[in-house]
Structure 1
Amino acid sequence: MSVLICGSLAYDTIMVYSGQFKNAILPDKVHILNVSFLVPDLRREFGGCAGNIAYNLSLLGGDPLPMGTVGKDFDAYAAWMDEHGISRAHVRQIDSAWTAQAYITTDLDDNQITAFHPGAMNLAHTQDIATTGVTVGSVSPDGRDGMLLHAQQFVDAGIPFLFDPGQGLPMFNGEELKAFITQASYVAVNDYEAELLVDRTGWSLKQIAERVDALIVTRGGKGSHIIARGKTHEIPVAKAESLADPTGCGDAYRGGLLFGIAKGLDWDTTGRIASLMGAIKIERPGTQNHRFTLEAFRERYEQEFRAPLNGL
């Protein structure tokens, strides 16, 4: 029951600003914006949406197949994937490019300013999806042409997939987004992306939900909504022991989401697994530094949600 995750694999340089952006940016001076943030804390992490989702899915005992194009500097990331038993069968190295790089500055309100160099990711369209043994797919942020190609290939292969546009959503116009939604079985966005999706397509969330098996909208500390077959499942936020770093929480949620979909779990259980994954991630800095045993996860789930966890 493999999950093919098409998306970016990237190095994340994460910097934590010990103040608030709103106090450093003057609204009436944005036309001549020139700001500098002192960042005492800096880390270089393994990231990218495909890499992060695959890591989280593997923690749950799933079978992730991350698929993406990487650059000549990927050796350290490759060793990390090997160490954690994550397949590199569908990771293609491009020796003439750098691996995608994200430079993320986070303030004390968990706001983020990100600069992103796509590098080899822009050649994602040079790969075709794998179909053998793949139960479900994901089209996550990647090269623009790659996202368009892989969505169509999933349709042609009859493989249901999650459309997870994330920060790649602004690359597409309304008609292209309508096509993605029509092709996909599931759509996952955060609340800001949901508004942008509505604005660009002209479709309401209800109309979008009617075109897919499930529409998932995450809302940060307010939990998430899963709209499936006309019913809205209210998924509560799982309590976190600390708020160390929000980077990668959405990918952790999607790892739980894809686990539930691949396992055929009901939406309430799937959403709660995803919610707990996000809480566990936010307790640790970086996107792939959290750990747990399945026994510990099950125990925490049952304590948090006062319900048995079946299917894990």
Structure 2
Amino acid sequence: MKALICGSIAYDNIMVFQGQFQDQILPDQIHMLNVSFLVPALRREFGGCAANIAYNLGLLGDTGYPMATVGHDFAPYGDWLRERGVPLDHVRELSESFTAVAYIMTDLADNQITAFHPGAMAHAHLNAVPAEAGLSWGMVSPDGRQAMIDHAEQFAAAGVPFIFDPGQGLPMFGAAELKRFIELADVVAVNDYEGKMLMQRTGLDEAQIAAQVRALVVTRAAEGSMILAGGERLEIPAAAPAAVVDPTGCGDAYRAGLLHGLMHGADWATTGRIASLMGAIKVESAGTQNHSFDRESFYTRYEASFGRQLHLGS
């Protein structure tokens, strides 16, 4: 099965602050904020939502096609993805731009501060969703502003169901645009903070959003996730990681699990648990694409995590 994942491909520079951000910020001085965080270690990783989700979907046995624009410095990343079976048919290289780059700092409470240079991603609207490509699902994840608008419309016009995953791109849109995304999408997936922002900007509550889509999915990190579908509210437990190493990319792994469940016709309780386990597996490894598993071990761990066997259609 094939999914088209519209979003970013980026180089990630990942740092860990050996404390908590809140201890370094004076609440009554945020109008003149001047803060420096010492980060003893720096890792450079391959990242970006589209590539991360496609990588994770590949681990589950499906084919995820990232659709993105990259820069002249993409070659090492492209080689990495090809070696791992991620197809690059819909990745466009722009010779006059850099590939997008993120600087991600995490504290010991798993809070994150991110600075992002879009580079070639700003031209992602040059790509278009193919009308006839045998796609079973699509996803609109954080990308260039116009690209997200265009690709949502194109998925709908092509009759391809898709997940709207605004992520860090949500602040770029006003109420009317966000309502249009919800109208076009089949699933809306946000984290708890993004969900509150989405409701604040649109004036819609959870039930009103869920009534327009197949499901509203809200992730809550270690507290699990919530899926509101068909008038039913499902509380999805978090799967326990063997160790908490790096939360960067956990949301992307979770979304790959959502796609996998949807592509194989699983019910929402099962789909949510697949996604939850994907997030737990990711958090055990540094970086966003350094974890791996085989099908048998995933099914075994699913049963151990949730006390039920995993059965999926073809």
TM-score bucket (shorter structure): over 0.9
Deviates more, 1:5-14 or 1:261-270: 261-270
1:96 maps to what in 2?
Answer: 96
TM-score, scaled to structure 1: 0.99
Written as runs of structure 1 = structure 2, the 5 A alignment for 1:1-312 is: 1-130=1-130, 131-311=132-312
TM-score, scaled to structure 2: 0.98
Cα deviation, residue 33, structure 1: 1.4
Amino acid of the residue matched to residue 75 of structure 1? A
CA distance in 1, matches of 2:215, 2:35: 42
SS, match of residue 136 in structure 2: strand
Amino acid of the residue matched to residue 46 of structure 1? F
The superposition leaves residues 214-239 of structure 1 with CA deviations (integer Å, 9 ceiling, x where unpaired) of 11011111111111111111110000
Cα deviation, residue 148, structure 1: 0.3
The superposition leaves residues 240-292 of structure 1 with CA deviations (integer Å, 9 ceiling, x where unpaired) of 11111111100000000001111111111110000000000001111111111
CA distance in 1, matches of 2:127, 2:5: 13
SS, match of residue 18 in structure 2: coil
CA distance in 2, matches of 1:183, 1:246: 30
CA distance in 2, matches of 1:188, 1:285: 24
Cα deviation, residue 104, structure 1: 0.5
Cα deviation, residue 34, structure 1: 1.3
Residue segments in structure 1 that go unaligned for 5+ positions in a row: none
Count of residues in correspondence between the two structures: 312
Deviates more, 1:235-244 or 1:28-37: 28-37
Amino acid of the residue matched to residue 161 of structure 1? F
CA distance in 1, matches of 2:232, 2:35: 46
Cα deviation, residue 95, structure 1: 0.5
Cα deviation, residue 156, structure 1: 0.7
Cα deviation, residue 35, structure 1: 1.4
CA distance in 2, matches of 1:156, 1:221: 37
Amino acid of the residue matched to residue 274 of structure 1? A
SS, match of residue 259 in structure 1: helix
Amino acid of the residue matched to residue 126 of structure 2? T
Amino acid of the residue matched to residue 177 of structure 2? E
CA distance in 2, matches of 1:161, 1:42: 35
RMSD of Structure 2 on Structure 1 (CA): 0.8
Cα deviation, residue 89, structure 1: 0.4
Amino acid of the residue matched to residue 55 of structure 1? Y
- The list of structure 1 runs, each at least 4 consecutive aligned residues, that deviate by more than 3 angstroms after superposition, is none
Amino acid of the residue matched to residue 204 of structure 2? W
CA distance in 2, matches of 1:132, 1:32: 52
Residue segments in structure 2 that go unaligned for 5+ positions in a row: none
SS, match of residue 134 in structure 1: coil
Amino acid of the residue matched to residue 271 of structure 2? T
Cα deviation, residue 44, structure 1: 0.5
Counting aligned pairs with the same residue, the percent is 60
